[in-house]
Structure 1
Amino acid sequence: MAPVSEPINWKRNLFVAWLGCFLTGAAFSLVMPFLPLYVELLGVSGHEALNLWSGLVFSITFLFSAVASPFWGGLADRRGRKLMLLRSALGMAIVMALMGMAQNIWQFLALRAVLGLLGGFIPNANALIATQVPRNRSGWALGTLSTGGVSGALIGPLIGGLLADQYGLRPVFYITAAVLFICFMLTLFFVREQFTPVQRKDMLHARQVFASLKNPRLILALFVTTMIIQIATGSIAPILTLYVRDLAGDIHNLAFVSGLIASVPGVAALISAPRLGRLGDRIGPERILVCMLLFSVLLLIPMAFVQTPWQLAVLRFLLGAADGALLPAVQTLLIYNSSNQVAGRIFSYNQSFRDVGNVTGPLLGAAVSASYGFRAVFGVTALVVMFNALYSWRCLQRRPKPPQEKQLQEEP
């Protein structure tokens, strides 16, 4: 084992953390294409009931994650981020395996809640890397790391839909559990952290955390932006499979086609994220954030008028190009405006807002689709994203100078 004094290889940690975020994101999204079908398998029937339960089982995970995330973030600041990564990966692997054994909708709902309580891999990975990477490389590193979870989450549905068509619905949960266990093993053996435990009495309280920030109002605005981004993404998730079925009719490979349409944004994100990240380094992540939000609005509106699944797939591909830049831009702005001492909690608070968005989005989508039809969801989502774009633009007008600029001025 390497001596404690040996410098951390943050590039290796970044690579392993990226892979872990990718596997975690993929594992969560593997079940998304057939989640309504699994709810149907567990005994729920009827259009309105299916919409409502699909939204509920999708969102309850994020509701419990929003509650638990600040606790795990504080524990990470006290005990170390690697420990939290291990806890999250192993706990989620066990719960996923149990989901495949669920016999009724209530068991499945309870297990989805426990999954939320045990989550937190991605925000703790962000905190780990943010506290290790050189400050002048933080924007690139956090942007790169963010693409792991986003890409995994967007590519996972394609794999999940294919596996569901080939092997059935329940085996996909066992495969997902295996993927999460691989994530646990990679973290255990390859991630390194030099961490000195902090006593509870020496920890800053939540009010002190915000008092230590250079611009707490900007941080809060970024939290809200993260929430609205997730509301827009989540509103479509629970109705996508049913919308594809409405467009395509009763086709035999519905799970695969739905998974393909759900995952094509992942391919676009992989292509666009590095390029938009480099562009953000030149012109500023705040400009990338606002421009991509406006671009998303222009793509969501025509989704309400498509006539075939493939028209929807093309628009979602273009939407993925924008999505690949949104959360990385927010993460970069967060690390620019916070310190290593409170990074764990800042990212956990951001995760809580993200989870609130993940709760609200599916419920919004399910409610709108149940009352007004699937196509209305895209119009409502476009309005939400437009509000986010205007809100973000206003809040970022007074953004303080990035830390690398200040560092250059302070160096002799």
Structure 2
Amino acid sequence: MIYKEMPLSWKRTFITLWVGCFITGLGFSMTMPFMPLFMESIGSFSRTELNFYSGFAFSATFLAQAIVSPYWGNLADRKGRKLMCLRASGVMTFTILFTGMANSVWMIIGLRFLQGAFSGYVNNATAFMAGEAPEGHSGAVISQMMTASVTGNLIGPMVGGAIAGVLGYRAPFYIVGCLMALVFLLTLTTQEHFTPISAKEMKPMKEIFAGLSNRKLIYTMFITTLLVQSSLMSISPIISLLVKQLMHNQGNVSFVSGVVAAMPGFGTLLVAARLGTKMDEVGPLKILLVGLSLAFVFFIPMYFAHTPMLLGFWRFLLGMASAAMLPAVQTVLTKSVPHEAFGRIFSWNQSFQAAGGMFGPMLGSAIASVFSYQSVFLFTASFVLFDLFLVLAFRKEA
């Protein structure tokens, strides 16, 4: 194993950032499943109002992230990734703690917008370790870092739901805030070997895009990231309300919501490594097309699911399909852009991903208000189908 051959300082940095990514994923997902229930507990809202506020709270984080990601990507290329990790974990500490103290939905929405504007710990920690990895081993290191955040996202909803069910909805926010303070302190101890790049030496984005021979494919990948993320996030703000409806408001809704929310993570974790190997063998575009096709198929039965168990089962399968989508997009971008443009191209892709995280919840909340919670799955299935045809149309440019 590569880790046995590396010096002790490298191992400490790797373990520290791995733990940081795990806690960040854990903390972000711990509070997601019951956010609408938390809002419901601090005010009196109609179903339409609750759907709107829930969707707005989810989208606020991603709206801010979509706006500022290119700026942070540019700054990271000039100042280093460690500073970006400290910025993200430090701000997240306070925004999450104050969210737990919120007494109005607008305070929650404002804090989540601020959190999104300063987010990016996982992406920067992954880039940090990729830069520190020895030649020929960056793929293995990046894979391990991605496993940390996926594992945290997987466990988070169940842990958060269990804590909320026992101690109330505010307790998980206080716990996550303390954990993020720990991440900040741990990150402070890491060592980064970074060579700054002056602003004058960086090519403008217009010049970079003008030099790409396969611009249409790059744009298609950006749109794919947007549509896939929108589809995956569309049910997020109302999943606890859907589970509550399916359970007829009986039993521990917070915990069951957490389990249902976590099921895609189980599916992704099960097949991610195997799909990564297969992607190198047959090419990322083929894997992407398979993932989109399966996601479309798995969304349809969710509309007919009448128990949380059935909904969780189909979300588990959707997680397996999602492992073949966004990673494939990132691999296509890696192989399609020059090395010196990686940072900013990926920051633009991150902006599209954040935009999907913004539009998906808002659209899902609107659809649920007009039709039903289950109708969201039919609309998102149509997005995936459209994207499938779009990728088919432009894959020849690969």
Establish whether TM, by shorter chain, passes 0.5. Answer: yes
Distance 1:7 1:67, change over 3 A: farther
What corresponds to 2:200 in structure 1? 201
* Matched-pair contact (CA < 8 Å) for 1:301–1:379: yes
1:153-164 superposed matches below 5 A: 153-164=153-164
Matched, 1:64 2:64: yes
Aligned residue identity for 2:359? T
Unpaired runs of 5+ in structure 2? Answer: 1-5
1:2-401 superposed matches below 5 A: 16-133=16-133, 136-190=136-190, 192-213=191-212, 215-399=214-398
Deviating beyond 6 angstroms after TM superposition, the runs of 4 or more aligned structure 1 residues are 6-12
Deviations 1:236-259 (A, max 9, x none): 111211111111111231000000
Aligned residue identity for 2:342? A
Return the offset for 1:152.
2.5
Aligned residue identity for 1:320? G
Return the offset for 1:96.
0.8
Aligned residue identity for 1:99? T
Return the offset for 1:373.
0.6
Return the offset for 1:148.
3.4
SS of corresponding position for 2:235? helix
* Matched-pair contact (CA < 8 Å) for 2:162–2:255: yes
Aligned residue identity for 1:347? F
Return the offset for 1:342.
3.1
Aligned residue identity for 1:96? I
* Matched-pair contact (CA < 8 Å) for 1:248–1:309: yes
Distance 1:237 1:25, change over 3 A: same
Aligned residue identity for 2:145? L
Q: Distance in 1 between matches of 2:266 and 2:244?
A: 23
SS of corresponding position for 2:197? coil
Q: Distance in 1 between matches of 2:114 and 2:369?
A: 27
* Matched-pair contact (CA < 8 Å) for 2:290–2:324: no
Q: Distance in 1 between matches of 2:10 and 2:328?
A: 21
* Matched-pair contact (CA < 8 Å) for 1:213–1:338: yes
Return the offset for 1:270.
1.3
Q: Distance in 1 between matches of 2:285 and 2:249?
A: 44
Distance 1:263 1:72, change over 3 A: same
* Matched-pair contact (CA < 8 Å) for 2:214–2:397: no
Return the offset for 1:20.
2.7
Q: Which moved more, 1:192-201 or 1:300-309?
A: 192-201
Deviations 1:344-389 (A, max 9, x none): 2222211110010011000110111100111111111111111122
CA RMSD of aligned residues (A): 2.3
Q: Which moved more, 1:153-162 or 1:143-152?
A: 143-152
Q: Which moved more, 1:178-187 or 1:283-292?
A: 178-187
Q: Which moved more, 1:158-167 or 1:145-154?
A: 145-154
Under a length normalisation based on structure 2, what TM-score does the superposition of the two structures give?
Answer: 0.92
SS of corresponding position for 2:194? coil
Under a length normalisation based on structure 1, what TM-score does the superposition of the two structures give?
Answer: 0.89
Distance 1:397 1:95, change over 3 A: same
Aligned residue identity for 1:200? A
Aligned residue identity for 2:68? A
* Matched-pair contact (CA < 8 Å) for 1:209–1:342: yes
Aligned residue identity for 1:181? A
Distance 1:279 1:70, change over 3 A: same
Return the offset for 1:38.
1.2
Q: Distance in 1 between matches of 2:397 and 2:147?
A: 27
* Matched-pair contact (CA < 8 Å) for 2:101–2:170: yes
Q: Distance in 1 between matches of 2:212 and 2:76?
A: 19
Deviations 1:53-106 (A, max 9, x none): 100011011101111111111100111111111111111111111111112112
Unpaired runs of 5+ in structure 1? Answer: 1-5, 400-412
What corresponds to 1:407 in structure 2? none
Q: Distance in 2 between matches of 1:11 and 1:229?
A: 35
Q: Distance in 2 between matches of 1:305 and 1:148?
A: 33
* Count of residues in correspondence between the two structures: 393
